[in-house]
Amino acid sequence: MYSETPDIIPFTSPLETGVLTQAELEILKEKTMYVLDQVGVHFPSPKALEIFADHGARVDMKAETVCIPPELVKKAMSTAPRSFVLGGREERFDLILDGSCSYMSTDGTGVHVVDPETRETRASCKNDVAMMARVIDALPLIGFYLPMVSAQDYGQTASLHQCHAGLTNTLKHVRGGTTMHPQLARHAVDMATVVAGSDEVRIQRPPICANICTISPLSHDREGIESGLVYAEAGIPISFMAMPTMGSTAPATPFGALILGDAEVISAMVLVQLANPGAAVFHAIFTSLINPRTGGYISEVPTASYMMARQLAHAWGVPCLGGARLSGDAPGLGWQSGFEVGLGSALSAISGGEICGLLGLVNSAMTLYPEEVILDHDACYQVYEMLNSKRFTEIDSSLEVIESVGQRGHFIAQKHTREKIRGFYISPLRDKKGTDNQPRGARDAARERFKQIEASHKPQPLPGEVLAELDKILESAESTAEDLFGK
């Protein structure tokens, strides 16, 4: 027996706004093109350098750098689609990235897990990736599964096992590709093809997407960029993600870091469009800060960088991964994590990123407390309900009951009250009591809810022949990894 996966609830908001004017966005794009043209970007990939050279960019083969003229940037970016589909197991789980709404996503990819049973912190493994995929499958406001932790028990093939754990444990779209050797990336494509059922469906409704991180300042990873070319050729959408840190890997100003990160992301998009015009790409910049007092890392910077990055993505004519996030720098669950989740939930309502939220982790996205995803989902759901409570159709019936009760009456006995009062969302995590009838905190209630879902929710499995094919692909990938890296 399996459990029914609830429909995804898109995060729609009447409050979407921006902090930059169109003129300011054009200035930022011009500065990005200046950096690409006059400073250049490091591409340690002979294949990438050859593609750029063939299209008229200024390439220094020895230094492995590329300077891209503005005309070439504009021409390449004109072929990038503004909207495309990220496929789910069924069409009702498809995500349409056209700017009409946001889809909430988990954050990833952490390396520590607070064990649900022992409550001890340990290294993450593939079973944790699968466990969290099953849980988010039951949470309707989360539409996009980014593996929350890493499969550290599988070494060089960890990313492929994370992809497998996602595809086999949720009907929702899975971030299945990432930076890996291009020969291993082809196995991720094979997995997507088997789940989709054909090359044609894989291209039309890809069940996985990929994420490739840049290296600040102004560089790329060879395997990352070459695996990106593999994904693009196969029709797997790619988010290119820059994570510049102000004061260390980026200028110590929000706009300086934004331009630097944008140059990294756009340079990768230009490469992909030159090699595969029309390839689906989306834009991601997450700006952070070096702590000037300790030298540590601060991911939640009190600036509008995430919102500006979303506007910049749309100014380039591509979807955005980001705009706001809930996961923050809190070392554990408490006041700081609650503040970060509350702020992230509110910003998700106004940011307008197609894939948004990035929830469920703490400690700068390094640590998973299983109950955090329940707490974060509930916070987002309350914001969603607040934004979608404008129901003008209820005015007439409300006036009727006002007239009926009149002065100095009471509404509690009215049929209208009985019908409408249940429509208000009241968090299931509040006002809970234990078996001893003593009040219980929201965190304890969230842990209980997590355990209930994890124990009882079993998404519809893939067909047996598909599961068998996926196992064969993993076996082949392990053999490929041995050939590439040794045992």
CB 88 within 8 A of CB 207: yes
d(CA 147, CA 104) in angstroms, rounded, equals 14
**Among 35, 104, 117, which residue's Cα sits nearest to residue 68?**
35
Nearest 5°: CA angle at 79, between 73 and 84?
A: 130
Q: What percent of the chain has pLDDT over 70?
A: 99
Q: What's the rounded mean pLDDT across residues 260-275?
A: 98
pLDDT at 172 over 90: yes
pLDDT of residue 435: 65
Q: What's the rounded mean pLDDT across residues 436-454?
A: 87
pLDDT at 200 over 70: yes
| Banded model confidence at residue 235, pLDDT cuts 50, 70, 90 | very high
Q: What's the rounded mean pLDDT across residues 463-480?
A: 98
| Banded model confidence at residue 348, pLDDT cuts 50, 70, 90 | confident
Q: What is the pLDDT of residues 16-73, one digit of tens each?
A: 888 999 999 999 999 999 999 999 999 999 999 999 999 999 999 999 999 999 999 9
Of 306-310, 331-335, 426-430, 463-467, which gets the smallest average pLDDT?
426-430
Cite the beta strand spans of 235-315 per DSSP E: 238-242, 245-246, 281-285, 288-290, 297-298
Cβ burial, residue 31 (10 Å; 0-12/13-18/19+): middle
Distances (CA, A) of 354 to 85, 286, 360, 362, 381: 11, 15, 18, 23, 17
**Among 184, 280, 187, which residue's Cα sits nearest to residue 235?**
280
pLDDT at 434 over 70: no
pLDDT of residue 433: 67
Which residue's entry shows tokens 């809930």?
A: 326
pLDDT at 233 over 70: yes
Q: What's the rounded mean pLDDT across residues 471-482?
A: 97
d(CA 269, CA 323) in angstroms, rounded, equals 19
pLDDT of residue 352: 87
Residue 31, CB half-sphere, CA atoms under 13 Å: how many?
A: 15
Q: What percent of the chain has pLDDT over 90?
A: 82
3-state secondary structure of 224: helix
pLDDT at 437 over 80: no
Token representation of residue 203:
């291209």
Q: What's the rounded mean pLDDT across residues 160-167?
A: 98
Q: What's the rounded mean pLDDT across residues 120-124?
A: 98
| Banded model confidence at residue 388, pLDDT cuts 50, 70, 90 | confident
Q: What is the pTM of this model?
A: 0.94
Q: What's the rounded mean pLDDT across residues 399-427?
A: 91
pLDDT of residue 202: 98
Look up residue 331 and give its DSSP letter. Answer: S
pLDDT of residue 256: 97
Cite the beta strand spans of 80-207 per DSSP E: 84-86, 95-97, 103-106, 112-114, 121-123, 142-145, 173-177
pLDDT at 389 over 80: no
pLDDT at 487 over 80: no
Q: What is the pLDDT of residues 123-160, one digit of tens each?
A: 999 999 999 999 999 999 999 999 999 999 999 999 99
pLDDT at 302 over 90: no
Look up residue 460 and give its DSSP letter. Answer: P
